[in-house]
Amino acid sequence: MSVLLEVESQSVRLKPLEGKPADTLVIHELYRSLQGESTFAGLPCTFIRLTACQLRCSYCDTPHAFQQGETLSINDVLERALATGDSLIEVTGGEPLLQEEVYSLMSQLCDAGKTVLLETSGALSIARVDPRVRIILDLKTPGSGEVGSIDWSNLSRVKPTDEMKFVICDRIDFDWAVDVIREHNLTSRCHVLVSGAFGQVEPVDLSSWVLESGLNMRYQLQLHKLLWGAKSRGV
C-alpha cells in the first residue's frame, strides 16, 4: 500500500460519497461470477460492490473500489441484480455499510427470495442489518494494519448463519485469531473461516496451523484468484 494511501484523511477516503442524493447508492461494479470464498464457495453469485472504504488494509485487493463508482437509485441496483437470475447475491465493497441505503437494498433482496451475503470489515456496527442477511464479518488481524478499527461489540451480534473470517498474514496473525476465537467461543456460535493473505502465507503452512489448533475452523483458498489470477477484476 502506498504512502499516499496510508496518510489519506478520513474525509478524502469518503469523498466519493459526498453529495450523494438520498435513495441512491454509489456502485463500483455489479457482475456475476463464482463465489470465491465463504461456505458458499463455488456457487454462481451476483456481486454488488459498493464504492468507498474508510480502512486501508495492507493486503487490500480492491483499491480500485476506493474512489470509482456510478450513482444509481436503489431501484436500479435492485433491478440489475435481480435480472441476473442468481439465487445468491453478495453485497460487498469497499465497506458497504458506509452507505445508509444499503440496509434497504439488502432487505428488498431478501424480500425477493434471494440468499443475501454481506461482507463487511467489522469496523461498523452490524446491529441494523436485516436478520435474514448472512453476514461475513472480516475481522481485521494485526497484519492488516487495521486491528484498531474493530467494533468488538459485533462479536456478540453474530448469528449461527453468519461467518467470521480472518485473513492471515503470518503466524502472529494466526495465533491472534486463535485467541479471539477461543475467548469469544466463536466456533460454537457461527462459521469460522481462515484464509491466507494472497502470496504472503504458504497454503501448506496455514493448513498445518489449522490442524494444530484443534479448532473447528474452515481453511479456505480464494477460488476466484486461483481461477482468474490475483489481479483480475469483475470475477
Residue 9 maps to a domain: yes
Helix (H) / strand (E) containing 74: helix 74-83
What span, in angstroms and rounded, lies between the C-alpha atoms of 233 and 145? 24
Residue 92 maps to a domain: yes
pLDDT, one tens digit per residue, over 113-146 is: 999 999 999 999 999 999 999 999 999 999 999 9
Number of domains in the chain: 1
pLDDT, one tens digit per residue, over 32-55 is: 999 999 999 999 999 999 999 999
Q: CATH number for the domain including 140?
A: 3.20.20.70
Residue 174 maps to a domain: yes
Domain that holds residue 79: 3-228
Rounded to 5°, the CA angle 160-164-168 comes to: 160
Residue 234 maps to a domain: no
Looking at residue 221, its pLDDT comes to 87
Residue 233 maps to a domain: no
pTM confidence score: 0.90
